[in-house]
A and B are shown apart, each in its own frame.
Chain A
């Protein structure tokens, strides 16, 4: 669980994060999105104790990060966007170093290293010097480092930069499996497709403030009460379709073209099912009928004012 209360950070006379309140329950994958300069990285750095807030409080797993940094660190795994690794160590030595640094017990270190190496797919590179690894492999090693001590909270700042598409998919799977094991994940990114179908909640940050936060379905429902439905059919039923749709008050913006079209709909799923049933009963041979889901990108474009100073 991550809890940020009235978190504020000033750099000189600039406010980077402005009284941020955020609560991420256990098991959530929370996507923090926003333009460059919105305060995402500063927020994450304060959450993992790298930066002392000007004021406010950060609690991770009910431990005050500022008050008990050492205790808090055992629950936190952190990965930043641009990072480096110790090139003169072997892969296993690098992970062993961090396992020791997180004060894991000696007997569990060896087993955990093998587990983590397997999780990030670096088995064949176990005894290779890091110097000889590719950029993507180093990124995987960074992820392995972040999870070596089985943290309850993962803070990832642009974690997928440098990963190839396959590795990105693997990263998603890895994070999902960590969530299933009860980990809470805060992930920041400005590549919105990275977060699609993966985050359970999102927060949109601008000018140091959270302009919107919540579970994706809730935010979507709040922001887009009007749902867009697309349909297709076969045969010469365009006029029937237009007539049926036009008769229904809950529909608007009806746009038909040949054997397909779309309309805006406000109402419950039951009402939507009735629309489909009416079309079918009027002998319209419907081949597809479905709602166009709002992507995170659509939401962001809708909610964000794209303001930086």
Chain B
């Protein structure tokens, strides 16, 4: 028996959603829809032939011989269209259903107050993960299972080839599993109060996966592999698609392989996060351990260099490449910071232990900022390696390294400030402190933008000074080379270092406050 088939969580979903009556109804509906799609495909192919016959009668083109050939090809054309339609429909249904059912799996259980009972069983996080991943969208998998024989037969009849049919299904199922896993992770991050935010996040994730298809024309074309739409056309059309292949370290690989690599690599990180947290209390969840977070930052940096594919006719220079990598690292370090925020009680314990010399700055429950510095150092080391590896395309200039160091320092200081602000929010009694903290930060950046515009009216120089003081944009605007950055950039870094110091002081003051020896929560 397959491992998942006897998984209690999967069995629960299978029993609830695939009762005999419903299963027969779904199978019948699928059959009817397949017939309708088949008729539509035939009608479309026949219509094309009819139009060709009209053009032939009026203009003599296509010729009778070509028309005869088209008539001969009509069943095959119709079958191909039918097969393509079926495959795209299945991919769409499975991806959409997986994401939206898994994205409510844990938060929904929390809201229904059934989650605690699952947590008190002997099911391991991996059991729960597998059961929910396959169980929540079990109806969608059943629909695909009903479609499978029809699609496979039509694909083989349309001379698509068994390997292509199997590969297409592999891509559809693996993308659905990855999307479901991502949905499950999102769902674990939200509770009933913030479930709305979770749904917005789910919609955002769906949009990203759908639109990531457009990365294929960027300098990181491999990221398009997140979308099954990048690889599917190649597999469902007999002649394959004309889309350019993605590259890995400059070597072209098939889209299917790229998608599978991305799904496996990111899926493994998501599975690790779920495995660590699925059975933990909501307040005690931390996506990754500190070292894992640094490892994740290194992985993401490594991926950037692996997927990088410069336009052959206009490759970037090392300065703009460095700036791009630093900007990406701004986002990566911010993600590391959010993943390493310490819960209030854990930070307090760390503070007490530190007082007794039992804990260090790098302890698991300590503040997040040392790990941001470590991530930035790792990122900078990988930048040196990346520039060296791509030196033939980008050119290796030492001024890029020195400029990159200053840019990285600027980004690190600003991100540290933001992460410490979020950490401080977490120590207050704010409800949903992370979401509120993030909103305050958004407000801050919008206000900075407004100030920049206001001062730009007086002179462009003033505008630059303002945004250099308030945001890291001054160091990243691509106008400076080597160590020759405007004074505003260094002024901004100094100013933000002072803010960081203030935030650290505020956090320490919070930690020093004696706890109240009374309970008002929990019952």
Which residues of chain A have a CB within 8 Å of any CB of chain B? Answer: 9-18, 36-42, 45, 48-52, 54-55, 69-70, 73-74, 76, 78, 80, 82-86, 88-89, 93, 96-98, 100-103, 145, 207-208, 307-309
Contacts and interface: CB of A to CB of B under 8 A. Distances in A.
A18 B517 contact: yes
Interface in B428-462: 429
A51 B514 CA distance: 22
Interface of B: 6, 8-9, 11-12, 15-17, 112-114, 116-124, 279-281, 283-284, 344-345, 348-349, 427, 429, 510, 513-523
A295 to B, nearest CB: 22
A39 B113 contact: no
A138 B117 CA distance: 14
Contacts, number: 141
Nearest to A54: B345
Contact of A36 (B283, B516, B523): B523
A77 to B, nearest CB: 8
A101 B123 contact: yes
B422 to A, nearest CB: 16
A17 B522 CA distance: 9
B121 A73 contact: yes
Given A15-B516, A15-B518, A50-B120, 9 more contacts: A13-B348, A15-B519, A18-B517, A37-B523, A39-B522, A96-B11, A101-B121, A145-B117, A309-B520
Nearest to B511: A13
A13 B12 contact: no
Contacts of B427: 12
- What 4 A-B pairs are tightest by C-beta distance, nearest first? A42-B522, A309-B518, A101-B121, A100-B8
Contacts of A37: 519-523
B15 A93 contact: yes
Contact of A78 (B120, B122, B279, B521): B120
B138 to A, nearest CB: 12
B124 A309 contact: no
Contacts of B12: 86, 89, 93, 97
A98 B518 contact: no
Nearest to B111: A84
A50 B122 contact: no
Contacts of A98: 8, 117, 121
B16 A39 contact: no
B345 A83 contact: no
Given A54-B345, A83-B113, A98-B121, A42 B519 contact: yes
Nearest to A90: B15
Contacts of B6: 100
B385 to A, nearest CB: 40
A99 to B, nearest CB: 8
21 contacts: A9-B345, A12-B345, A13-B344, A13-B514, A16-B522, A37-B520, A37-B522, A42-B521, A48-B120, A54-B345, A69-B279, A78-B120, A85-B114, A88-B16, A93-B16, A96-B11, A100-B6, A101-B118, A101-B122, A145-B117, A207-B517
Contacts of B522: 9, 11, 16-17, 37, 39-42, 45
B8 A73 contact: no
A84 B115 CA distance: 9
A132 to B, nearest CB: 14
Given A73-B122, A98-B121, A102-B122, A14 B116 contact: no
A15 B8 contact: no
Nearest to B345: A10
B284 A308 contact: no
Given A54-B345, A85-B114, A98-B117, A14 B521 contact: yes
A13 B516 contact: yes
Given A10-B515, A37-B519, A51-B281, A70 B114 contact: no
Contact of A86 (B114, B116, B513, B517): B114
A122 B116 CA distance: 24
Contacts of B124: 70
A84 B517 contact: no
B275 to A, nearest CB: 13
A54 B283 CA distance: 12
Contacts of A55: 349
Nearest to B517: A15
Given A82-B113, A89-B16, A97-B8, A14 B516 contact: yes
A39 B516 CA distance: 14
Contacts of A17: 519, 522
B188 to A, nearest CB: 15
Given A12-B429, A145-B117, A208 B123 contact: no
Contacts of A18: 517
A38 B120 contact: no
A122 B322 CA distance: 69
Contact of A16 (B113, B513, B514, B519): B519
A78 B519 contact: no
B7 to A, nearest CB: 8
B267 to A, nearest CB: 24
A145 B120 CA distance: 11
A70 B520 contact: no
Contacts of B15: 89, 93
A207 B516 CA distance: 10
Nearest to A97: B12
A207 B345 contact: no
A260 B364 CA distance: 71
Contacts of B8: 97-98, 100-101
A39 B522 CA distance: 6
Contacts of A74: 122
Give the one of B9, B12, B349 with max A CB within 10 A.
B12
Contacts of B344: 10-13
A52 B113 contact: no
A156 B224 CA distance: 52
A14 B515 contact: yes
A93 B18 CA distance: 13
B523 A14 contact: no
A49 B519 contact: no
Contacts of A42: 519, 521-523
B121 A84 contact: no
A17 B114 CA distance: 25
Nearest to A71: B122
A97 B11 contact: yes
